[in-house]
Chains A and B, each alone.
Chain A
Amino acid sequence: SQELEQSPQSLIVQEGKNLTINCTSSKTLYGLYWYKQKYGEGLIFLMMLQKGGEEKSHEKITAKLDEKKQQSSLHITASQPSHAGIYLCGADRDDKIIFGKGTRLHILP
């Protein structure tokens, strides 16, 4: 069974618009990671969240972990073409990282 569910699976957004990607876990998250992957390339680490209610920002990307530590959201403000790619959430699970299926983000100029 898929432990990490990401939504939406795919997203098309007009440049300049805001967007949110969600990652939901069936179990408590003790470490939640967000990565960005350009098509056919490796993963780029964005942020790590560990505490309930934690929020981190980097440039125009903000990630939050809810108080119950079962859901995280990634919010991009004023999207740009450089934000296009696949966003994956990952979670600590038994000394390894498990991943969601990813959200494919397309930015329309």
Chain B
Amino acid sequence: GAVVSQHPSRVICKSGTSVKIECRSLDFQATTMFWYRQFPKKSLMLMATSNEGSKATYEQGVEKDKFLINHASLTLSTLTVTSAHPEDSSFYICSAASGSFYEQYFGPGTRLTVT
């Protein structure tokens, strides 16, 4: 089956620093990748959709300059949290799709803690 990996699985960073999270589709080419954020006891919230080679489409309320998304190849997308603050601490999950948006394969998630 389709496998999506995320790296790192856990990261702790200090306030004001930037942190990059990678999302890779290991055995298929992902034309579209999605980034989600999950708060405790809350819905999984879509942050942005990225298509390979083009700019990401951000959901309403998500700061483009704070959450930089790059989808440089068909197997890799990165999310960079810039100038991180404690309120950015969360569980970030990516998913990848090779065709229809509903055929998404999810990564294992990255736990970000900002101190």
Interface residues in chain A, defined as those with a beta carbon under 8 Å from any beta carbon in chain B: 2, 4, 9, 31, 33, 35, 40-45, 48, 88, 90, 92, 95-102
Residue interface bits B23-58, CB-to-A below 8 A is 1, else 0: 000000000001000000111111001000000000
By a CB distance below 8 angstroms, the chain A residues around B108 are: 41-42
User: Is B93 an interface residue when CB atoms closer than 8 A count as contact?
Assistant: yes
Are A40 and B109 within 8 A (Cβ)? Answer: yes
Given contacts A33-B102, A41-B108, A41-B109, whether A98 and B43 have CB atoms under 8 Å apart is: yes
Count of CB-CB pairs between chains A and B under 8 Å: 49
A interface, over-half SS: strand
Q: Which residue of A lies closest to B109 (CB)?
A: A42
By a CB distance below 8 angstroms, the chain B residues around A40 are: 91, 109, 111
By a CB distance below 8 angstroms, the chain B residues around A95 are: 101
Query: Bound state CA distance, A12 and B108, in angstroms?
Result: 25
Are B106 and A42 within 8 A (Cβ)? Answer: yes
By a CB distance below 8 angstroms, the chain B residues around A48 are: 102
Q: Which residue of B lies closest to A104 (CB)?
A: B41
Query: Bound state CA distance, A40 and B44, in angstroms?
Result: 13
